[in-house]
Structure 1
């Protein structure tokens, strides 16, 4: 038993999800200024029966909040999709648009919080409010065997969702954690943001090292 069997709710919020007043107000502000943007909760991007789940924290303003697809349209997506293509988790050509025809292979990408937060910083209550969607996503995809958390907050949010003690699974770049009671492993990476790569906190080789480990856990079919 994984502890996820009872989480049978919707896997994605409705387009006009009302649950977080601050995020709703921010969404409405942006709809007035940028009516051509997505400006709504961002659904997960997935292949059929994914074995890898990648979790970010929340959509970026000019990335997923604009395009409607996780990690699409900003620098973080450039590095993420380049690496997914290199390791066989995606196919096609990434053009930073949701209609570029890129597809995932054996993978899913989602965010712990599905709506854009001001200053890219969701609050604790907002993270908890969106948690049922993360749990339902896991329950609806029992094929998942590896989870990649991009950044410490995504890592801690995922552990809290599974009611696992954070101190037992400390975040560290390229760390791998076996999760008791769950047939999956948690992998950690520094977030693939422009800030982290510009400062040298995360290099392309460091990011590849995480995917080397993931491919050991789930070899390419």
Structure 2
């Protein structure tokens, strides 16, 4: 296998995993970006970030979870057969969208051969096909598909974030990995949350992570904790105004291929988020 492979859009050669600051489309980091090696450093770097761009750049070089680092980089080196001629990002995946969102979409973690390959959330896999198409139909994305980080996708009034920034084995981060990565989500909520009107949680994991992050941020969260379900809603007290939390089944292939989540079901919830976001 070649040590370097061409990006499918730009043709530039990249190693897998991609080092920071080498010109990958959308890479917010640089060779001088500080690297977190443990949970304490994640907390310090997230809290000291001056804006969302700086925070995401720091998150994209994080190495605080040894198991996740080893997995994401092994996937990037070995690659799936269908993508053997492409480089893999192989690092924590940056958030996607505007820096002053009214609609915040919360997922789970990047897919091994989706975001971990393309370097962008919900890009290059079936889950991305579903959510980006739904956002487009609701007027929150400029195009109906997302295949690589240089395809021109732009979100309107919307930002997509993940509680866990690295692709985990079997899509299952450990509680310790979740808690370590939570500081990046907390920092992002601090920096982009003032304009948020609605949070769309894709799956029970995202729902619970959102409620936990909201509590840590000092937002008013109902007690008992609102229960997740498709179409569930809850009112949160945000930093400036009330925020509506919406639940949707995750756009995983397991849900969409079995009919647990259908296009009309997803469109109804995403459309509701778009309407509430104004």
Do Structure 1 and Structure 2 share a fold, with TM-score over 0.5?
A: yes
- Given the alignment, which residue of 50, 70, 78 partners 2:121? 70
CA distance in 1, matches of 2:273, 2:191: 21
Q: Contact between 1:56 and 1:110, CA under 8 Å: does it hold in 2?
A: yes
Task: Tell which deviates more after alignment, 35-44 or 51-60.
Answer: 35-44
CA distance in 1, matches of 2:223, 2:126: 29
5+ residue gaps, structure 2, are 1-45, 80-85, 216-220
5+ residue gaps, structure 1, are 1-5
Return the structure number with greater relative CO, CA threshold 8 A, min gap 6.
1
- Alignment pair present for 1:138 and 2:189: yes
- Given the alignment, which residue of 176, 179, 195 partners 2:233? 176
- Alignment pair present for 1:20 and 2:72: no
Task: Tell which deviates more after alignment, 31-40 or 47-56.
Answer: 31-40
- Given the alignment, which residue of 91, 107, 115 partners 1:56? 107
- Alignment pair present for 1:129 and 2:174: no
Residues 106, 126 of structure 1: CA spacing in aligned structure 2 closer, same or farther, 3 A cutoff? same
- Given the alignment, which residue of 151, 158, 161 partners 2:210? 158
Shift of 1:215: 2.9
Root-mean-square deviation (Å): 2.0
Shift of 1:95: 4.3
The equivalent of 2:76 in structure 1 is 31
Larger radius of gyration: 2
**3-state DSSP of counterpart to 1:162:** helix
Shift of 1:140: 0.9
Shift of 1:181: 5.1
CA distance in 2, matches of 1:150, 1:192: 7
CA distance in 1, matches of 2:176, 2:222: 19
Shift of 1:83: 0.8
The equivalent of 1:3 in structure 2 is none
Q: Contact between 2:77 and 2:88, CA under 8 Å: does it hold in 1?
A: no
Residues 31, 192 of structure 1: CA spacing in aligned structure 2 closer, same or farther, 3 A cutoff? closer
Q: How many residues align?
A: 214
The equivalent of 2:151 in structure 1 is 100
**Could you tell me the TM-score, scaled by structure 1's length?**
0.89
